Amino acid sequence: MSNFNFDVITLFPKAFELIKNSGVITRALEKNLIGLNLHDLREFGEGSYRQVDDKPYGGGAGMVLKPEPIFNAHESISKFPKSKTLLMTPQGKVLKQKDLVRWSTLDQIIIICGQYEGFDERVRSLADEEISLGDYVLSGGEIPAISIINGLTRLLPGTLGDPDSLVDESHNSSLLEYPHYTRPLIFRDMKVPDVLVSGNHKEIKLWRSQKSFERTLERRNDLISNENYKKSPKSKRINKESNLLMEFRIGNGYDIHRLVEGRNLIIGGITLQHPENLGLDGHSDADVLIHSIMDALLGALSLGDIGKFFPPTEEKWKNADSLFLLSKVIELIRKEGWEVNNIDSVIVAERPKIKPHVEAMKKNISEILHIDENLIGIKATTNEKLGPEGREEGISCHSVVLLEKQ
């Protein structure tokens, strides 16, 4: 007798031939770890034509599976002490890994595969649970049944060659599995991460935890937002390990330029019109927004300020486009192995209105830094007539950047 038994009631038993002759199911059958018994619903049909379906009461399209054949098929199956009956239906709850784990402690699973337009409502009384693969409709319950048989069999002792392979798989924890690599080390200019060939098992474990967390956050953040996950010890451990792996730097930048006649007013690479036809005085184009961002970037890595790299004493920087200067600064930042996580800036000016131009400024910065516009925050405020900005003697800007080690 097998350790675990699957009994499937189906109109299409041949649909299961593939899994009986390949992979993990074949090995489990050969080792007598599972039994797979297929019950052809047609054999329990009525009359000489073995009828299993009929027109629905009240009218409507399609045919409905009759209750008698399904009840008779179910009653013909010998029940084990720990047995459950599952009804495959798109109206059922969506299958989760935790369901497979829960069922793996049983002796038997009986699966009823629905077909066509559905089944007589009274069939539901046979089921302990109603199961769906997701929010879509298939022509029958055979594919969901195969999924359950495969997923559950893998959890049974002795089925897999290496039981540890189950431990880190997606959905066995609350997170998706980390990326895997094998030989060759470099394939079409794509290289295996250095940490995986370092031999440092502690660092490898931390890397895998981090990547598992990142992949879940990117692809299935609903798993992380789940309240049960948030409260779990695993959540606290993963977050702690993630923080250990991540290395951040914060930079603060500030710039101010006088408003004068005879100069263009350029902020964020956009030429604005001041009511008094004033512009910002400086050796370059005096773009306070871009200058403050550059200072923040350089300051985050303790590299100095923009005056060190683009000194006002050098003629080649006279009237220079600050967006071009920003492109040189970001090259330096990335050469040091860092990437921009996000930017937040505040422009202080009485006039002109900055808000109508913010999106265009973000677009300019995004194109130079090659980051999403939603990672760039630009705000504007007046200084309530106080200080040099309030007296319209100048315009200033404060910026904060967060860098992340790559």
**End position of a domain, from candidates 203, 230, 245:** 245
Q: Match 């929010």 to its residue by tokens.
A: 135
Tally Cβ neighbours within 10 Å of residue 35: 15
| CATH code, 363 | 3.30.1330.50
Distances (CA, A) of 210 to 145, 180, 224, 229, 367: 34, 13, 13, 16, 29
Tally Cβ neighbours within 10 Å of residue 307: 12
Q: Match 């049960």 to its residue by tokens.
A: 228
pTM of the complete model beyond 0.75: no
234 — pLDDT class (breaks 50, 70, 90): low
Question: What's the CA gap between 286 and 297, in Å, rounded?
Answer: 17
Residue 169 lies in a domain: no
Question: Which pLDDT tens digit goes with each residue over 93-120?
Answer: 999 998 999 999 999 999 999 886 689 9
Single-letter amino acid, residue 315: E
Distances (CA, A) of 317 to 279, 296, 320: 18, 20, 5
What tokens appear for 12 in the block? Answer: 């299409």
Between 19 and 224, the more confident residue is: 19
Question: Which pLDDT tens digit goes with each residue over 54-72?
Answer: 998 998 878 899 999 999 9
CA angle 19, 25, 26 (to 5 degrees): 90
Q: Match 């209105």 to its residue by tokens.
A: 353
Residues 32 and 125 in one domain: yes
Residues 9 and 112 in one domain: yes
Residues 143 and 124 in one domain: yes
Residues 155 and 12 in one domain: yes
167 — pLDDT class (breaks 50, 70, 90): very low
For residue 70, what are the domain limits? 4-163
| pLDDT of 163 above 70 | no
pLDDT, average across residues 113-138: 89
| Residue percentage of the chain with pLDDT more than 70 | 90
Contact at 8 Å (CB) between 176 and 216?
A: yes
| CATH code, 65 | 3.40.1280.10
250 — pLDDT class (breaks 50, 70, 90): very high
Question: Which pLDDT tens digit goes with each residue over 369-385?
Answer: 999 999 999 999 999 99
Q: How many domains does the chain have?
A: 3
Strand partners, 272: 265
For 118, phi and psi rounded to 5 degrees?
140, -160
**End position of a domain, from candidates 216, 245, 274:** 245
Residues 308 and 399 in one domain: yes
Of 21, 24, 18, the closest CA to residue 161 belongs to: 24
Residues 143 and 223 in one domain: no
Residues 235 and 271 in one domain: no
Residues 23 and 103 in one domain: yes
Q: Mean pLDDT for the chain?
A: 89
Question: What's the CA gap between 376 and 364, in Å, rounded?
Answer: 11
212 — pLDDT class (breaks 50, 70, 90): confident
**End position of a domain, from candidates 101, 133, 163:** 163
Question: What's the CA gap between 110 and 76, in Å, rounded?
Answer: 12
| pLDDT of 170 above 60 | no
Question: What's the CA gap between 173 and 121, in Å, rounded?
Answer: 36
pLDDT for 99: 93
DSSP state of 270: E
Residues 353 and 253 in one domain: yes
131 — pLDDT class (breaks 50, 70, 90): very high
22 — pLDDT class (breaks 50, 70, 90): confident
pLDDT for 225: 58
Residues 347 and 241 in one domain: no
pLDDT for 221: 74
229 — pLDDT class (breaks 50, 70, 90): low
Of 52, 77, 49, the closest CA to residue 66 belongs to: 52
pLDDT for 173: 55
pLDDT, average across residues 264-270: 97
pLDDT for 213: 83
Contact at 8 Å (CB) between 131 and 86?
A: yes
Single-letter amino acid, residue 316: K
Residues 252 and 110 in one domain: no
Residue 273 burial (C-beta neighbours within 10 Å; 0-12, 13-18, 19+): exposed
What tokens appear for 170 in the block? Answer: 């997606």
pLDDT for 218: 81
pLDDT for 159: 85
Residue 77 burial (C-beta neighbours within 10 Å; 0-12, 13-18, 19+): middle
